[in-house]
Amino acid sequence: MERIEHHASFGGRQEVWQHASRSTGTPMKFGIYLPEAAVRGQKCPVLYWLSGLTCTEQNFITKAGAQQHAARHGLIVVAPDTSPRGVDVADDAAYDLGQGAGFYLNATQQPWAAHYRMQDYVARELPALVEQHFAATDARSIFGHSMGGHGALVTALRHPGRYRSVSAFAPIAAPAQVPWGQKALTAYLGEDPKAWAEWDAAALIAQARSERLPLLIDQGEADEFLPQLRPDLLQAACARVGHPITLRMQPGYDHSYYFIASFMGEHVAHHAAALRG
Protein backbone atom coordinates (compact mmCIF):
# COMPACT_ATOMS: atom_id res chain seq x y z
CA MET A 1 0.00 0.00 0.00
CA GLU A 2 1.05 3.59 -0.59
CA ARG A 3 -0.11 6.58 1.46
CA ILE A 4 -0.77 9.45 -0.93
CA GLU A 5 -2.38 12.00 1.44
CA HIS A 6 -1.93 12.81 5.11
CA HIS A 7 -3.68 15.65 6.98
CA ALA A 8 -4.10 16.45 10.68
CA SER A 9 -7.81 16.71 11.51
CA PHE A 10 -9.63 17.08 14.85
CA GLY A 11 -6.76 15.53 16.79
CA GLY A 12 -6.49 12.60 14.39
CA ARG A 13 -5.43 12.07 10.78
CA GLN A 14 -7.23 12.04 7.47
CA GLU A 15 -5.29 9.86 5.07
CA VAL A 16 -5.73 8.52 1.53
CA TRP A 17 -4.15 5.23 0.51
CA GLN A 18 -3.75 3.40 -2.78
CA HIS A 19 -3.23 -0.33 -3.22
CA ALA A 20 -3.48 -3.10 -5.80
CA SER A 21 -6.89 -4.75 -5.43
CA ARG A 22 -7.32 -8.49 -5.93
CA SER A 23 -11.08 -8.04 -6.32
CA THR A 24 -11.03 -5.49 -9.13
CA GLY A 25 -7.62 -6.23 -10.63
CA THR A 26 -6.85 -2.51 -10.55
CA PRO A 27 -5.31 0.06 -8.24
CA MET A 28 -7.93 1.28 -5.73
CA LYS A 29 -7.95 4.33 -3.47
CA PHE A 30 -9.66 4.81 -0.14
CA GLY A 31 -9.82 7.58 2.42
CA ILE A 32 -9.43 6.68 6.08
CA TYR A 33 -9.95 8.90 9.09
CA LEU A 34 -8.01 7.78 12.15
CA PRO A 35 -9.12 9.33 15.44
CA GLU A 36 -6.47 10.20 18.00
CA ALA A 37 -6.80 6.87 19.80
CA ALA A 38 -6.17 4.93 16.58
CA VAL A 39 -3.18 7.12 15.76
CA ARG A 40 -1.75 6.10 19.15
CA GLY A 41 -2.33 2.44 18.31
CA GLN A 42 -5.49 1.81 20.32
CA LYS A 43 -7.90 -0.30 18.29
CA CYS A 44 -11.14 1.42 17.27
CA PRO A 45 -14.31 0.23 15.51
CA VAL A 46 -14.77 1.08 11.83
CA LEU A 47 -17.56 2.85 9.96
CA TYR A 48 -17.58 2.36 6.18
CA TRP A 49 -19.01 4.99 3.83
CA LEU A 50 -20.06 4.32 0.23
CA SER A 51 -20.39 7.34 -2.07
CA GLY A 52 -22.75 7.99 -4.97
CA LEU A 53 -22.61 8.28 -8.74
CA THR A 54 -19.58 10.13 -10.20
CA CYS A 55 -17.83 10.36 -6.80
CA THR A 56 -14.35 9.30 -5.73
CA GLU A 57 -13.04 8.91 -2.19
CA GLN A 58 -12.54 12.68 -2.18
CA ASN A 59 -16.19 13.78 -2.12
CA PHE A 60 -16.91 12.37 1.31
CA ILE A 61 -13.65 13.27 3.02
CA THR A 62 -13.75 16.90 1.83
CA LYS A 63 -17.50 17.70 1.99
CA ALA A 64 -19.30 15.56 4.57
CA GLY A 65 -17.70 16.98 7.73
CA ALA A 66 -17.51 13.52 9.26
CA GLN A 67 -14.09 13.88 10.86
CA GLN A 68 -15.25 15.96 13.83
CA HIS A 69 -17.98 13.44 14.65
CA ALA A 70 -15.69 10.44 14.20
CA ALA A 71 -13.14 12.11 16.49
CA ARG A 72 -15.78 12.67 19.18
CA HIS A 73 -16.90 9.04 19.13
CA GLY A 74 -13.49 7.45 18.54
CA LEU A 75 -14.40 5.83 15.22
CA ILE A 76 -12.29 5.03 12.19
CA VAL A 77 -14.14 6.05 9.01
CA VAL A 78 -13.25 4.47 5.67
CA ALA A 79 -14.46 5.81 2.31
CA PRO A 80 -13.43 3.88 -0.83
CA ASP A 81 -13.68 4.95 -4.45
CA THR A 82 -16.93 4.07 -6.22
CA SER A 83 -15.53 1.83 -8.96
CA PRO A 84 -12.40 0.43 -10.55
CA ARG A 85 -10.64 2.92 -12.83
CA GLY A 86 -8.01 2.92 -15.54
CA VAL A 87 -7.48 2.94 -19.28
CA ASP A 88 -8.02 -0.84 -19.48
CA VAL A 89 -11.23 -0.74 -17.39
CA ALA A 90 -14.57 -0.79 -19.22
CA ASP A 91 -16.41 2.53 -19.21
CA ASP A 92 -19.41 4.32 -20.66
CA ALA A 93 -19.90 7.90 -21.78
CA ALA A 94 -22.89 8.30 -19.44
CA TYR A 95 -22.38 9.35 -15.83
CA ASP A 96 -24.59 6.55 -14.46
CA LEU A 97 -22.69 3.55 -15.84
CA GLY A 98 -19.08 2.47 -15.81
CA GLN A 99 -16.25 4.24 -14.02
CA GLY A 100 -17.64 6.17 -11.07
CA ALA A 101 -20.82 4.08 -11.17
CA GLY A 102 -19.93 0.59 -9.95
CA PHE A 103 -23.19 0.13 -7.97
CA TYR A 104 -21.31 -1.97 -5.39
CA LEU A 105 -22.17 -5.28 -7.04
CA ASN A 106 -20.25 -8.10 -8.72
CA ALA A 107 -20.82 -7.83 -12.46
CA THR A 108 -21.41 -11.01 -14.44
CA GLN A 109 -21.71 -9.57 -17.96
CA GLN A 110 -18.96 -8.51 -20.36
CA PRO A 111 -17.16 -6.16 -20.61
CA TRP A 112 -17.82 -5.34 -16.95
CA ALA A 113 -17.16 -8.70 -15.25
CA ALA A 114 -13.37 -8.47 -15.47
CA HIS A 115 -13.06 -5.56 -13.04
CA TYR A 116 -16.44 -4.54 -11.62
CA ARG A 117 -16.43 -6.64 -8.45
CA MET A 118 -17.09 -3.87 -5.98
CA GLN A 119 -19.15 -6.02 -3.60
CA ASP A 120 -16.20 -8.34 -3.05
CA TYR A 121 -14.04 -5.28 -2.56
CA VAL A 122 -16.15 -3.34 -0.03
CA ALA A 123 -17.50 -6.33 1.92
CA ARG A 124 -14.39 -8.50 2.10
CA GLU A 125 -11.12 -7.19 0.72
CA LEU A 126 -11.20 -3.65 2.09
CA PRO A 127 -12.20 -4.58 5.67
CA ALA A 128 -9.49 -7.25 5.76
CA LEU A 129 -6.96 -4.68 4.58
CA VAL A 130 -8.08 -2.08 7.14
CA GLU A 131 -8.07 -4.58 10.00
CA GLN A 132 -4.59 -5.81 9.04
CA HIS A 133 -2.82 -2.48 8.53
CA PHE A 134 -4.54 -0.06 10.94
CA ALA A 135 -5.57 -0.03 14.60
CA ALA A 136 -9.03 -1.36 13.76
CA THR A 137 -11.27 -3.87 15.48
CA ASP A 138 -13.59 -6.19 13.58
CA ALA A 139 -16.64 -4.20 14.75
CA ARG A 140 -18.06 -2.70 11.54
CA SER A 141 -20.96 -0.50 10.47
CA ILE A 142 -21.81 0.84 7.03
CA PHE A 143 -23.63 3.83 5.50
CA GLY A 144 -23.73 5.72 2.23
CA HIS A 145 -25.43 8.15 -0.13
CA SER A 146 -27.53 7.63 -3.27
CA MET A 147 -25.86 4.79 -5.22
CA GLY A 148 -23.75 4.33 -2.09
CA GLY A 149 -26.86 4.24 0.08
CA HIS A 150 -28.06 1.40 -2.14
CA GLY A 151 -24.64 -0.21 -1.70
CA ALA A 152 -24.70 0.12 2.09
CA LEU A 153 -28.19 -1.35 2.44
CA VAL A 154 -27.52 -4.22 0.04
CA THR A 155 -24.13 -5.02 1.56
CA ALA A 156 -25.56 -5.18 5.08
CA LEU A 157 -28.52 -7.28 3.96
CA ARG A 158 -26.36 -9.70 1.96
CA HIS A 159 -23.94 -10.26 4.85
CA PRO A 160 -25.96 -10.84 8.04
CA GLY A 161 -23.85 -10.58 11.18
CA ARG A 162 -21.03 -8.68 9.48
CA TYR A 163 -22.22 -5.17 10.38
CA ARG A 164 -23.50 -3.74 13.66
CA SER A 165 -25.65 -1.06 12.00
CA VAL A 166 -26.60 0.43 8.62
CA SER A 167 -27.95 3.78 7.45
CA ALA A 168 -28.32 5.73 4.23
CA PHE A 169 -28.81 9.22 2.83
CA ALA A 170 -31.18 9.31 -0.17
CA PRO A 171 -30.47 5.73 -1.26
CA ILE A 172 -31.53 4.20 -4.56
CA ALA A 173 -33.84 2.05 -2.47
CA ALA A 174 -35.44 -0.13 -5.15
CA PRO A 175 -33.07 -0.11 -8.15
CA ALA A 176 -34.91 -2.85 -10.02
CA GLN A 177 -37.92 -0.53 -10.26
CA VAL A 178 -36.30 2.75 -11.38
CA PRO A 179 -34.41 3.83 -14.55
CA TRP A 180 -31.01 4.39 -12.87
CA GLY A 181 -31.02 0.92 -11.40
CA GLN A 182 -32.57 -0.87 -14.38
CA LYS A 183 -29.90 0.53 -16.68
CA ALA A 184 -27.02 -0.50 -14.41
CA LEU A 185 -28.44 -3.87 -13.41
CA THR A 186 -29.10 -4.82 -17.03
CA ALA A 187 -25.59 -3.86 -18.09
CA TYR A 188 -23.80 -5.49 -15.18
CA LEU A 189 -26.03 -8.53 -14.57
CA GLY A 190 -28.01 -9.18 -17.75
CA GLU A 191 -31.70 -9.20 -18.55
CA ASP A 192 -33.01 -11.55 -15.83
CA PRO A 193 -34.91 -9.65 -13.09
CA LYS A 194 -34.20 -12.54 -10.71
CA ALA A 195 -30.52 -11.59 -10.82
CA TRP A 196 -31.43 -7.97 -10.15
CA ALA A 197 -33.35 -8.91 -6.99
CA GLU A 198 -30.12 -10.05 -5.35
CA TRP A 199 -28.90 -6.43 -5.48
CA ASP A 200 -32.12 -4.61 -4.59
CA ALA A 201 -32.72 -3.60 -0.97
CA ALA A 202 -36.49 -3.59 -1.31
CA ALA A 203 -36.37 -7.15 -2.65
CA LEU A 204 -33.78 -8.40 -0.15
CA ILE A 205 -35.83 -7.25 2.85
CA ALA A 206 -38.21 -10.17 2.31
CA GLN A 207 -35.27 -12.56 2.84
CA ALA A 208 -33.75 -10.74 5.84
CA ARG A 209 -35.21 -13.10 8.43
CA SER A 210 -31.95 -14.22 10.05
CA GLU A 211 -31.02 -10.65 11.02
CA ARG A 212 -33.44 -7.76 11.43
CA LEU A 213 -30.91 -4.94 11.36
CA PRO A 214 -32.84 -1.67 11.74
CA LEU A 215 -32.60 0.70 8.77
CA LEU A 216 -32.10 4.45 9.29
CA ILE A 217 -32.75 6.54 6.18
CA ASP A 218 -32.75 10.30 5.69
CA GLN A 219 -34.30 11.62 2.49
CA GLY A 220 -34.60 15.25 1.40
CA GLU A 221 -38.10 16.22 0.29
CA ALA A 222 -36.62 18.70 -2.23
CA ASP A 223 -34.35 16.05 -3.77
CA GLU A 224 -34.55 16.42 -7.55
CA PHE A 225 -33.78 12.71 -7.94
CA LEU A 226 -36.58 11.45 -5.69
CA PRO A 227 -38.35 9.59 -8.57
CA GLN A 228 -35.15 7.54 -8.98
CA LEU A 229 -34.77 6.86 -5.26
CA ARG A 230 -38.21 5.68 -4.13
CA PRO A 231 -37.74 5.23 -0.37
CA ASP A 232 -41.49 4.62 -0.21
CA LEU A 233 -40.99 1.27 -1.95
CA LEU A 234 -38.44 0.20 0.64
CA GLN A 235 -40.68 1.39 3.46
CA ALA A 236 -43.57 -0.64 2.03
CA ALA A 237 -41.36 -3.73 1.70
CA CYS A 238 -40.33 -3.37 5.34
CA ALA A 239 -43.95 -2.96 6.42
CA ARG A 240 -44.93 -6.19 4.65
CA VAL A 241 -42.48 -8.28 6.69
CA GLY A 242 -42.25 -6.16 9.83
CA HIS A 243 -38.64 -5.16 9.29
CA PRO A 244 -37.60 -2.15 11.43
CA ILE A 245 -37.05 1.04 9.45
CA THR A 246 -36.88 4.73 10.32
CA LEU A 247 -37.47 6.88 7.23
CA ARG A 248 -37.08 10.60 7.91
CA MET A 249 -38.30 12.88 5.13
CA GLN A 250 -36.42 16.15 5.60
CA PRO A 251 -38.27 19.27 4.33
CA GLY A 252 -36.27 21.60 2.09
CA TYR A 253 -33.20 19.37 1.68
CA ASP A 254 -31.88 18.28 -1.72
CA HIS A 255 -29.47 15.56 -2.87
CA SER A 256 -26.25 17.44 -2.14
CA TYR A 257 -23.53 17.21 0.48
CA TYR A 258 -25.16 20.20 2.21
CA PHE A 259 -27.89 17.71 3.07
CA ILE A 260 -25.45 15.00 4.07
CA ALA A 261 -23.36 17.30 6.28
CA SER A 262 -26.52 18.54 8.03
CA PHE A 263 -27.34 15.08 9.41
CA MET A 264 -23.89 13.48 9.46
CA GLY A 265 -23.51 13.93 13.20
CA GLU A 266 -26.74 12.06 13.89
CA HIS A 267 -25.76 9.18 11.64
CA VAL A 268 -22.28 8.84 13.14
CA ALA A 269 -23.82 8.88 16.64
CA HIS A 270 -26.31 6.20 15.54
CA HIS A 271 -23.46 3.95 14.40
CA ALA A 272 -21.27 4.75 17.41
CA ALA A 273 -24.02 3.53 19.73
CA ALA A 274 -24.14 0.20 17.88
CA LEU A 275 -20.38 -0.14 17.53
CA ARG A 276 -19.63 0.62 21.15
CA GLY A 277 -22.80 -0.87 22.64
Mean pLDDT (whole number) for 146-164: 97
Task: Just list the catalytic residues.
Answer: 146, 223, 255
- Indicate the residue type of 265: G
- State yes or no: pLDDT of 207 exceeds 90: no
CATH number at residue 66: 3.40.50.1820
Cα gap 56→50, rounded to integer Å: 10
Find out whether 198 and 107 touch, Cβ atoms under 8 Å.
no
Q: What mean pLDDT, rounded, does the chain reach?
A: 97
For 213-273, the DSSP string reads PPEEEEEETT-TTHHHH-HHHHHHHHHHHT--EEEEEETT--SSHHHHHHHHHHHHHHHHH
pTM of the model: 0.97
Give the range of the structural domain holding residue 146, as residue numbers without chain letter: 2-275
- State yes or no: pLDDT of 208 exceeds 90: no
* Angle, CA 148 vertex, CA 202 and CA 141 arms, to 5°: 85
Q: What are the residues whose beta carbons fall under 8 Å from the beta carbon of 101, sequence distance 6 or more?
A: 53, 54, 82, 83, 92, 95, 147, 184
Cα gap 66→224, rounded to integer Å: 24
Mean pLDDT (whole number) for 65-70: 98
Mean pLDDT (whole number) for 103-111: 98
- State yes or no: pLDDT of 209 exceeds 80: no
Taking alpha carbons only, the member of 140, 113, 114 closest to residue 126 is 140
Cα gap 147→180, rounded to integer Å: 9
Cα gap 183→174, rounded to integer Å: 13
Beta strands of 10-131 (E only): which ranges?
12-20, 27-34, 44-50, 76-80
What share of the chain has pLDDT > 70, as a percent? 100
- Indicate the residue type of 92: D
* Angle, CA 140 vertex, CA 182 and CA 203 arms, to 5°: 25
Q: What is the pLDDT of residues 42-60, one digit of tens each?
A: 999 999 999 999 999 999 9
When divided into structural domains, the chain yields a total of 1
pLDDT band with cut points at 50, 70 and 90 for residue 211: confident
